[in-house]
Chains A and B, each alone.
Chain A
Amino acid sequence: NAGVTQTPKFQVLKTGQSMTLQCAQDMNHEYMSWYRQDPGMGLRLIHYSVGAGITDQGEVPNGYNVSRSTTEDFPLRLLSAAPSQTSVYFCASSLRASNTEAFFGQGTRLTVV
């Protein structure tokens, strides 16, 4: 019973490097999303997807790209890492976009130096 799986758990990047955070769910959920968690700011939505082939921006999308080629996978790409992107990143999925609980991955702690 895997649920939502995120990789890697920890990552250190140099400024300007690019990387992809992986997220996969095995629950056939329509809705997937990426959040970043920063001290005192709760969770802020980066990007979300209501189904394969459909993505949209959240509150803080700048510097990040996403794609949803399959129902299961929703990778988050950092195009050119900046120290301001140091954060803990969480992927979440829900059966639908409305009135359903979200299941979260374990998180990726990213440090940009």
Chain B
Amino acid sequence: GDSVTQMEGPVTLSEEAFLTINCTYTATGYPSLFWYVQYPGEGLQLLLKATKADDKGSNKGFEATYRKETTSFHLEKGSVQVSDSAVYFCALRPNQGGKLIFGQGTELSVKP
């Protein structure tokens, strides 16, 4: 069945460092791909999305590109801030509809 695998955390970075969180997926067809962020004590919020191959989603300095050939949707940010400390979830939704499938989540901690 469909699945999402993302790199294990926690990831600890210094402020202004470059961030990559790897995400790969297994799915039939062309799913939509999402990154959600969960700040401490809160629900999940959509960070960015891409609905077809080669689409790039971007928001708040974060980017991810839908790579069909490598079945990946890695999250990147050029310069992280302390306020980016959160748990990040990669997710997919099948093109034909249905449930969101989440990865395990990656905790990011950014130190001043």
Chain A: residues with CB nearer than 8 A to chain B?
4, 33, 35, 40-43, 45, 48, 58, 90, 92, 96-107
Contacts and interface: CB of A to CB of B under 8 A. Distances in A.
Given A90-B44, A102-B46, A106-B42, A97 B104 contact: no
Interface of chain B: mostly helix, strand, loop or mixed? loop
Contacts of B43: 4, 90, 104-107
Nearest to B94: A98
Contacts of A101: 34, 46, 49
Interface in B64-112: 89, 93-100, 102-105
A43 B89 contact: yes
Nearest to B93: A99
Contacts of A106: 42-43
Given A101-B34, A106-B42, A45 B99 contact: yes
Given A58-B99, A98-B96, A99-B51, A41 B104 contact: yes
Given A41-B104, A99-B95, 12 more contacts: A42-B89, A42-B104, A43-B89, A45-B99, A48-B99, A90-B43, A92-B44, A96-B97, A97-B97, A98-B95, A99-B51, A103-B46
B45 interface: yes
Interface of chain A: mostly helix, strand, loop or mixed? loop
A42 B103 contact: yes
Contact of A43 (B32, B45, B49, B102): B102
11 contacts: A40-B104, A42-B89, A42-B102, A58-B99, A90-B44, A92-B100, A98-B97, A98-B98, A101-B49, A102-B46, A104-B44
Contact of A97 (B46, B51, B89, B98): B98
